[in-house]
């Protein structure tokens, strides 16, 4: 048996950097107890650093250290991590993850990624967003953001397939417009 964190280290030489970061983001993310039956992340950055120190001769240590620099708490899926990494690599500022419309209200709608300073929220919509109930919930969430003056950008699988180039152009245009 292996732990999720040790599996991350073991895969360091096989995975490209972005996927090593995405796997690491999954280890760090805050679980939803009502959906997952757990209330603690699989790892913390500190526990991963300790694991790397405990295995000083393992291949892949340098790759894991680089991945740790890019890992963030808050990404709920591989596409969200890949989008964030693409945004930053294309010159956009580091976005906020799991951004709540009203940070003081725990029941406030939230967005996957965004820029509070520009009132831009970005929603990655995977396959589970295609059901009627989820579409209705998404529409309510988007309406709340729009009513508060936010610009909402939807991202889908087709955007991922083109390395998010079109989405990044839309985000940059929205930032320019809102910064003016």
**Residues 167 and 159 sit within 8 Å (Cβ to Cβ):** yes
Is the same domain home to 140 and 51? no
Is the same domain home to 88 and 172? yes
Is the same domain home to 93 and 34? no
Is the same domain home to 16 and 88? no
Among 19, 50, 70, the domain boundary falls at 70
pTM of the model: 0.91
Q: Which two tokens stand for residue 172?
A: 């940059």
**Bridging pattern class, strands 120-124 and 110-115:** antiparallel
Number of domains within the chain: 2
**What percentage of the chain carries pLDDT values higher than 90?**
82
Is the same domain home to 60 and 89? no
Is the same domain home to 87 and 150? yes
Rounded distance between C-alpha atoms, residue 85 and residue 94, angstroms: 9
Sign for the pseudo-dihedral over CA of 64, 62, 164, 140: positive
Q: Which two tokens stand for residue 2?
A: 């292996």
Q: Which two tokens stand for residue 64?
A: 């894991």
Q: pLDDT (tens digit, 9 = 90+) per residue, 68-84?
A: 999 999 998 999 999 99
Is the same domain home to 47 and 104? no
Element (H, E) at 56: none
Is the same domain home to 45 and 126? no
Among 46, 70, 94, the domain boundary falls at 70
Among 12, 43, 70, the domain boundary falls at 70
Domain of residue 28 covers 4-70
Is the same domain home to 56 and 145? no
Give the contacts of 168 (CB within 8 A, at least 6 positions apart): 86, 87, 90, 92
Is the same domain home to 127 and 165? yes
pLDDT of residue 88: 97
Model confidence at 130: pLDDT above 80: no
Q: Per DSSP, what are the bridge partners of residue 151? A: 120
Residue from 54, 115, 124 nearest 88 by CA: 115
pLDDT of residue 18: 97
């Amino acid at each position: 048996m292996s732990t999720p964190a040790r599996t991350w280290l073991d895969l360091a030489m096989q995975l490209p950097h972005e996927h090593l970061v995405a796997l690491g983001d999954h280890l760090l993310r805050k679980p939803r107890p009502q959906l997952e039956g757990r209330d603690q992340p699989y790892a913390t950055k500190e526990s991963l650093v300790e694991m790397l120190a405990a295995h000083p001769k393992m291949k892949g240590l340098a790759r894991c250290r680089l991945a740790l620099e890019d890992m963030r708490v808050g990404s709920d899926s591989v596409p969200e991590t890949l989008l964030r990494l693409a945004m930053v690599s294309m010159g956009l500022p580091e976005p906020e993850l799991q951004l709540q419309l009203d940070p003081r209200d725990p029941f406030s709608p939230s967005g996957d990624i965004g820029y509070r300073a520009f009132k831009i929220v970005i929603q990655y919509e995977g396959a589970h967003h295609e059901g009627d109930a989820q579409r209705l919930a998404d529409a309510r969430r988007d309406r709340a953001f729009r009513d508060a003056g936010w610009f909402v950008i939807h991202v889908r699988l087709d955007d991922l397939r083109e390395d998010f180039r079109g989405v990044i152009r839309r985000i940059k245009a929205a930032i320019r417009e809102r910064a003016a």
